[in-house]
Amino acid sequence: MADLVQTLLTALAIGSLYALIALGYTMVYGILKFINFAHSDIVVLGAWISYALAIKLLPMLGLNPHDAETAPPLWVGAAILLAAMLLCGLLGFAIERFAYKPLRRAPRLNVLITAIGVSLLLQNVGQLNYVFGASPQKMPALLPNIDLLRLSLPGGDGYREVVIGLVDVMIFSTSAVLMLVLEYLVYRTKLGTAMRAVSFSTDNASLMGIPVDRVVSFTFVLGSMLAAAAGFLYVMKYPGVNQPAHSIWVLLGLKAFVAAVIGGIGNVRGAVLGGFVIAFVEQFGAFYISSNYRDVYVFALLIIILLVRPTGLLGSPVREKV
Amino acid sequence: MTVTHSAPEIATSQSGPPSPRAGRRTSVWSGLWPLAVGIALAAVLHFVLPRLIGQYYSRIVMDIGIAMIMAVSLNIVNGMTGQFSIGHAGFMTLGGYAAALLTYYGSLSIWGTSLRHGGFLGVGEWMFAVSCLVGGLVAAGAGYVVGLPSLRLRGDYLAIVTLGFGEILRVVLQQTGKVIDDAEALKAAKWSQFFPPPVGGAVGFDGVPKYTDLFWVYTFVTITVVVAYRLKHSSLGRAMISIREDEIASQAMGVNIARNKVLAFVLAAFFAGAAGGLFAHEAGVILSPKDAGFQRSFDYVIMTVLGGRGSITGVMLAAVILTALPEMLRDFEQYRLIMYALLLIIMMLVRPQGLFGIHEVWQLWPGRGPRTAKKKT
């Protein structure tokens, strides 16, 4: 029971991260119909920008960034989060403008290859010595390390404690707020209607007077901001910041993409659902079967879903027309 | 196969006269001479080149050969069939492990040592060649398994599945056991020690006998190139090209899309597996799980993109350039991948069909203009 609850809580926190990243994949796919391979690198940059800002900002406040015990006031974390989101939003805008926009009418494979190129570029530029460097760093603690709640639950031989940490709660609640904002934006505002119209049919949307280019740019900015938030939250949970080209980031991005596909790519609510499904499969598989194969479960699930229901859980079937 | 020999070459989008090669396919020799010439050249390379340019540069030539096999075979999937596989290094590593497992434990149990046995074309080398082929078969089996879901997946989903395959393989290989390193221990080993196979886990498979030399590498290059070339000019290859050009139209023409895609995958995986066998037995190489990762796969993807989708000589040239260049630019290692990335982006913006497009190198020669493939407008 105790193990079950603890795994459940971890899955919720991780799942909300996957969901945040998956949203970026799914929005871009919905509108431009290609996988933005560079999306996971925006997550990485979000994480590294947060690290760089924290290292610079904390000494200014008279705090030692390498001291894990004292945490800065809450607004510091919020400011870093916002700054990382803004910078990554700008970056997303620039990538779309210079790499993808000239290829708007090109075959999808070309755009995909370009996206891989952008991804490699971001990884390796980030890895340069005078950018972020090629060695892992430790993220300073921005949140006090307090346990909000300790539950005693039956488990094993007697009772075991289940700890709900502040970090997990913050991850979950921040993601939840961001997702609700996005939900409002996509389904309740004029801009969101425009986004959905472009996703439905680019040509018809532009005939109806929707500025397609601006909507696409906005989508990229939005997706990149969510990715940056995910990157920030990820290094809050796991303070060891790996170098930009480390395969752990690629796996994170891949799993988020799998989440988007499982939920039904192009579907905003599906991405959130997929993120949680993936996290549950991964965490429970890791705990109850073997933690060595946690990545294998996710990809196995992907293949099963693609074989059984290729459009994903919430996707609607599309008929291909000549 | 429902496509007949008289089917027009769809890549050209126009029905030209039948290929002038069609009439020459009668004698057995006409099909085999390129193989014979290639293997003879490989033997010449093997005996002459190390004396001319020394061991270090011969090794780079060997690496170039392996890269050529990888790029040409990946080009069957990515270039000819128009799919997008970015897990080719996964097949290579799988084949490499399978081949190394055979030669290592084979020589350990037969000759009691894992060192190389026999000279040029000796028993050891033949065992090595056969195990490379077995590695190819194992990889081909994996190619079949990975290719199957691809029937339901279009381009970008397939990319993810192949990428996922490479990553899963990497994770699984990391869980393998330690290498059993002497003949006595091997005799005493229980069957349970072979599940999972003892191939060294995360540190890599050390101690594999070093059989790879210029002769074997370029023999395999010859086989790969000849098969790819014959495929490109067969009805099967034309069916694959038609899938690349327009899947729906080619289906309407009776091409069995599913079969052709899987076939392309299996074929490409076979050669990648054989190349992996060569790689695993190369001096100075310790095959390790991270070879299956995406970074190595991207190297080969970049070769096919740069060389031209469907151009065999184009990707061979790209393999030469992209393998030799980093050796020249050792001091700029940090910038190598940045350069690759910019190369990819700029190629897609400026010349998306690759340097040679669908042409072979000699078709670009002035006066020998493309006969079998006209430039698409």
Once rounded to an integer, what is the mean pLDDT over residues A133-148? 81
Tens digits of per-residue pLDDT, A45-60? 999 999 999 888 888 8
**Residue numbers in chain B where pLDDT is lower than 50:** 1-18, 22-23, 372-377
Contact A306 B352 (CB under 8 A): no
Q: Which of B296, B345, B353 to mutate to test the interface with A (most CBs of A within 10 A)?
A: B345
Q: How many whole angstroms separate alpha carbon B127 and alpha carbon A78?
A: 64
Nearest CA in chain B to A38: B341
Strand partners, A138: A240
Q: Give the per-residue pLDDT at B97.
A: 94
Q: Terminus-to-terminus CA distance in chain B, angstroms?
A: 30
Sign of the torsion formed by the C-alpha atoms of B295, B297, B299 and B304:
negative
Which of A129-143, A257-271, B171-185 has the highest average model confidence (pLDDT)? A257-271
User: With a CB-CB cutoff of 8 Å, which residues 2-41 of chain A face chain B?
Assistant: 34-35
* CA dist., res. B110 & res. B328, Å (int): 42
Tell me the chain B residues in contact with residue A129 when contact means C-beta distances shorter than 8 Å: 334
Closest Cα partner for A107 from B15, B313, B309?
B309
- pLDDT, position B198: 82
User: Quick one: pLDDT at residue B14?
Assistant: 42
Q: Which residues on chain A are in Cβ contact (under 8 Å) with B149?
A: 303, 306-307
List, in order, residues 6 or more apart from A56 with CB less than 8 Å away.
Answer: none
Q: Choose between A14 and B179: higher pLDDT.
A: A14
Q: What pLDDT score was predicted for residue A68?
A: 67
Is A86's pLDDT higher than 50?
yes
Q: Model confidence over A274-317: pLDDT tens digits?
A: 999 999 999 999 888 888 888 888 888 887 887 788 788 887 76
Lowest average pLDDT, out of A25-29, A218-222, B369-373, goes to B369-373
So what's the pLDDT on residue A6? Answer: 85
**Residues of chain B neighbouring A108 (CB-CB closer than 8 A):** 155-156
B342 touches chain A (CB under 8 A): yes
Q: Is the pLDDT of residue A146 over 80?
A: no
- Residue ranges of the domains in chain B? 29-291
Residues 6+ apart with CB under 8 A from B118: B124, B125
Return the amino acid letter for B43: A
pLDDT value at position A128?
85
Using the beta-carbon criterion (under 8 Å), do B345 and A129 form an inter-chain contact? no
What number is the average pLDDT over the span A75-97? 93
Interchain CB distance below 8 Å, B167 and A251 = yes
Shortest CB distance from B341 goes to which of A111, A120, A292? A120
Distance in angstroms (rounded) separating the CA atoms of residues B56 and B62: 10
Whether A243 shows a pLDDT value over 80: the answer reads yes
Q: Can you give the pLDDT at residue B7?
A: 42
Give residue-wise pLDDT tens across range A160-200. Answer: 778 888 888 889 999 999 999 999 998 999 999 999 999 88
Integer CA distances (angstroms), A116 to A87, A271, B72, B181, B322, in order: 21, 22, 20, 41, 17
- Helix, strand or coil, per DSSP, at residue B10: helix
Q: Return the residue in B75, B144, B160 with the most chain A beta carbons within 10 A, the one to mutate for interface testing.
A: B160
Q: Which of A117, A257, A261 sits opposite B341 (nearest CB)?
A: A117
* Rounded-to-integer distance, Cα B92 and Cα B277, Å: 8
Of the candidates A120, A254, A292, the beta carbon closest to that of B298 is on A120
Radius of gyration in angstroms for the set of CA atoms belonging to chain A, rounded to a whole number: 20
Restricting to A residues 263-322, those with a Cβ less than 8 Å away from any Cβ of B are 292-293, 295-296, 299, 302-303, 306-307, 310, 320, 322
Q: Enter the tokens of residue A10.
A: 């971890």
Distance (Å, rounded) from C-alpha B174 to C-alpha B201? 4
Tell me if B341 and A296 make a contact (CB, 8 A cut-off): no
Q: Is B34 exposed, middle or buried (0-12, 13-18, 19+ CB in 10 A)?
A: middle
Least Cα distance to B98 among B67, B121, B129, B131 occurs for B131
Under 8 Å between Cβ of A143 and A69? no
DSSP type of residue A279: H
Cα(B367)–Cα(A151) distance, integer angstroms: 83
Whether residue A218 lies within 8 A of chain B, CB to CB, comes out as no
Among the listed residues A166, B363, A212, the one whose alpha carbon sits nearest the alpha carbon of residue B375: B363
d(CA A313, CA A26): 13
CA B310 to chain centre: 14
Tell me the nearest-neighbour CA distance from A188 into chain B, angstroms.
31
CB contact under 8 A, B345 and A99: yes
Q: What is the pLDDT of residue B26?
A: 55
Query: Taking a contact as any Cβ pair under 8 Å apart, which residues of chain A between 43 and 82 contact chain B?
Result: none
| Average confidence score pLDDT of chain A | 87
Q: Does B340 touch chain A (CB under 8 A)?
A: yes
Torsion, Cα A200 A202 A203 A205, to 10 degrees, reads 70
Task: Confirm if A47 and A241 have CB atoms less than 8 A apart.
Answer: yes
Chain A positions touching B82 (Cβ under 8 A) are 109
ipTM of the complex: 0.80
What is the structure's pLDDT at A112? Answer: 83
Residue of A133, A85, A140 lying closest to A245 (CA atoms):
A133
A295 and B168 within 8 Å at the Cβ level: the answer is yes
Does residue A131 sit at the B interface (CB-CB below 8 Å)? no
- Which of A252, A278, A303, A321 to mutate against chain B (most B CBs within 10 Å)? A303
Collapse the DSSP code of A143 into the 3-class scheme (helix H, G, I; strand E, B; otherwise coil) and give the result: coil
Question: Within 10 Å of residue B230's Cβ, how many Cβ atoms?
Answer: 14
